[in-house]
Structure formats: C-alpha cells, structure tokens
C-alpha cells in the first residue's frame, strides 16, 4: 500500500529498496507488470519487465518473473543496486523566480511543469536541484528534502516558502502542521457550482485501484484516509466552468483536485482525475473545438497557488504574499468569459 525510498537492510547484499507495496485483501489475480504499472509513476511495461528479468522484483522475499500473478496480501518490493535517485541531489543552474528572501527563508513562484523534488522519473530539473545550486547548507525536512516546508504538484503553479535555517524549518513546519498558515489557490473547475461558497470535508487516501490517484473515503472506510478540509468560494461563473478560490485547512496530496472531483466539479484539464475530457456542455462540434482550443492554451490542470501567508520564524511578523494568475490560465479564463458572454446574448 505504500511506496518507500529507504535503503533496505544490509542483508539484501547492497540492494536498495525503491518501491514497496502490500497487495489489498481483495486483490484479484493480476500480472505483476500490470500491477506495478498502475502504482509506479512514469513506469513502462518494458522497464518493469527488465527489472523482473534482472531479478529485481521480489514477492514475499523471492524474485519473480513479470508474468507472476499478484495475490491478496503479497509483499512486493522493487530492489536495485543503486540508491534511489532522489537521494542523489545534483545542483543545477536553474533560474528561480524569488518573490522574497532574507537570512531565514525565501518565497519562490514555481512555474507549472517544474517538479518540486526528485522522484520516480524526474531526477533533474526540479526545484530542489535549483535550490541546492543557489543555496548552501539548506536544512533537511523530515523526508530529507533540503529547504522544503511544503510542496505543490508538478503542473500546479504558484508560491512556496523555503527554509534556509533549521530554526525556520522547525517553525514553518509547525505552522503548516497546526493549520495556522494561509494558503489560497485559484482553480477553474468543470460545471456551474451551485453554492457561492462552501466547505468540503472528506478523508483523503490512496485510491484502492489506481495508486496514482487519491480519493475520498467516507463512512466505515474513512479511516483509510486522513482528514482533509477545503473551503471554496466562487469568483466567477463562466457557463460550463467556474472560477473558484480554494483555501486549504489541511495539506493532503492532490487535496483540491480530489475534493473538487468529489463534489462533481473536477478541475479543468486535470488529466489524472478525468478533467481532460468534456464533462459539461453541448454536443455541438463547434463547442468541442472550442474546448480543445482551451486545452491547448492551458495544457495542465487549472490550478494556481495564489496566496501564501505565515508568521516569520524570527521576527514574529505576519507575512503574506500574492502571485498573479499565470498567462496560460488567464488566457483560458478570458476565452471562457467570451464564450459565456456570447451564449448569453
């Protein structure tokens, strides 16, 4: 059920664990190459089959071939000779959009498309590769990520605070944990949201069938996820889509994407959660062409981390930063605005 990147015990003869999973109780028989493709980001069947051929895929401690059928509660591990790449942080001279900096912290405006930290399939070009080039001796967080207090998804743009000292790391991390930081996002979602504002509460955890997604667990299953709270407010209604502000009370992975989908308003062009399809609107071919043009203007999920607020770790000053909505989202909003205006006439 979990993916880890910690080195294994020494008795694995200097092999390092890159992934580990425990199959669910209700797991139907499934080839291990297909099983791992659904759970490891950016993995291809060829890569998985090559790992199996090398004897790198273990089930219950024994190497298996790629046609092995996964059974309920199987313990699956992918072991390779080199440490996970995310431990091999290579400084890279990548320009940073620094909004604010002092001796304790900096605030950066991350562009869409930049991965925050190295991980499976993304080992260079990340924000952390840039940070370790520009700054020395950044403190590690609990996951050994230099300077990182929080993160946003690869295709989400917007503001992040980075700690430059141990004190700043501890102080800022506590604020995020205690929900005293301010985080506001702007999103375009499918559909016309009924209420002008509201709160979504739902435990978020890994999707049982698609491990690259998260989902909301309710009722007797809610203990499979962690509590999550999102407050939303309609900014502008644009016909078949809505521009919304989302304020986070918690910081679960994909929280806004999961919560908005849960209430029937998937983020526009969010491929992972089905928002890259036409979810609202007409069947006219002209409308389909219009939406396709919007997708081309904004080739990512329509989500921007616009506002970030926190208390400065040494001065105690309340700090608040605001980032303009990036051009790709602005162009898409304007296109929908014109379409909505035209259809009203």
* Gap between the Cα atoms of 307 and 318, Å rounded: 13
Cα-based angle 267, 271, 275 (whole degrees, multiple of 5): 35
Sign for the pseudo-dihedral over CA of 170, 146, 144, 227: positive
* Gap between the Cα atoms of 256 and 183, Å rounded: 12
Sign for the pseudo-dihedral over CA of 5, 10, 11, 13: positive
Both tokens of 227, joined, read 């509590």
Helices (H), 220-303: 255-262, 285-297
CA distances from 35 to 65, 283, 330, 339 (A): 13, 36, 39, 43
- Catalytic choice (33, 74, 153, 270): 153
- Residue 306, classed as helix, strand or coil, is strand
CB burial string 114-150: b at 16+ within 10 A, e below: bbbbbbbebbeebbbbbbbeebeebbebeeebbbbbb
- Please give the helix or strand (H or E) that residue 129 lies within, else none: helix 127-134
CA distances from 235 to 161, 181, 191, 244 (A): 25, 22, 14, 5
Q: Report whether 24 contacts 72 (CB < 8 A).
A: yes
153 among known catalytic residues: yes
* Gap between the Cα atoms of 225 and 209, Å rounded: 14
Indicate the burial class of 337 (C-beta count within 10 angstroms; 0-12, 13-18, 19 or more). Answer: middle
- Residues that are catalytic: 153
């Amino acid at each position: 059920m979990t993916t880890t990147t910690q080195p294994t015990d020494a008795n694995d003869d200097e092999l390092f664990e890159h992934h580990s999973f425990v199959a669910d109780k209700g797991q139907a028989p499934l080839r291990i190459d297909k099983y791992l493709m659904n759970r490891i980001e950016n993995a291809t069947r060829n890569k998985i089959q090559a790992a199996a051929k090398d004897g790198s895929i273990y089930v219950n401690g024994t190497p298996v071939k790629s046609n092995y059928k996964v059974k309920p509660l199987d313990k699956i591990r992918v072991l390779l000779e080199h440490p996970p790449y995310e431990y091999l942080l290579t400084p890279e001279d990548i320009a940073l959009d620094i909004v604010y900096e002092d001796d304790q912290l900096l605030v950066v405006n991350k562009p869409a498309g930049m991965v925050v930290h190295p991980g499976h399939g993304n080992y260079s070009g990340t924000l952390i590769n840039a940070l370790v080039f520009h700054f020395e001796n950044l403190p590690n967080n609990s996951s050994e990520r230099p300077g990182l207090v929080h993160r946003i998804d690869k295709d989400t743009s917007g503001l992040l605070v980075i700690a430059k000292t141990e004190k700043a790391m501890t102080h800022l991390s506590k604020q995020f944990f205690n929900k005293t930081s301010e985080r506001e996002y702007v999103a375009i979602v499918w559909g016309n949201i009924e209420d002008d504002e509201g709160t979504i509460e739902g435990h978020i955890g890994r999707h049982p069938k698609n491990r690259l997604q998260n989902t909301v667990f309710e009722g007797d299953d809610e203990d499979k996820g962690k509590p999550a709270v999102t407050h939303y407010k309609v900014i502008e209604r644009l016909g078949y889509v809505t521009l919304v502000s989302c304020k986070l009370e918690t910081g679960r992975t994909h929280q806004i994407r999961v919560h908005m989908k849960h209430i029937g308003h998937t983020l526009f062009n969010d491929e992972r959660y089905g928002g890259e399809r036409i979810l609202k609107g007409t069947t006219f071919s002209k409308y389909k062409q219009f939406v396709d043009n919007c997708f081309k203007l904004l080739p990512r999920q329509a989500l921007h981390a616009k506002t970030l607020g926190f208390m400065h770790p040494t001065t105690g000053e309340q700090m608040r930063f605001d980032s303009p909505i990036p051009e790709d989202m602005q162009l898409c909003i304007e296109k929908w605005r014109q379409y909505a205006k035209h259809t009203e006439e």
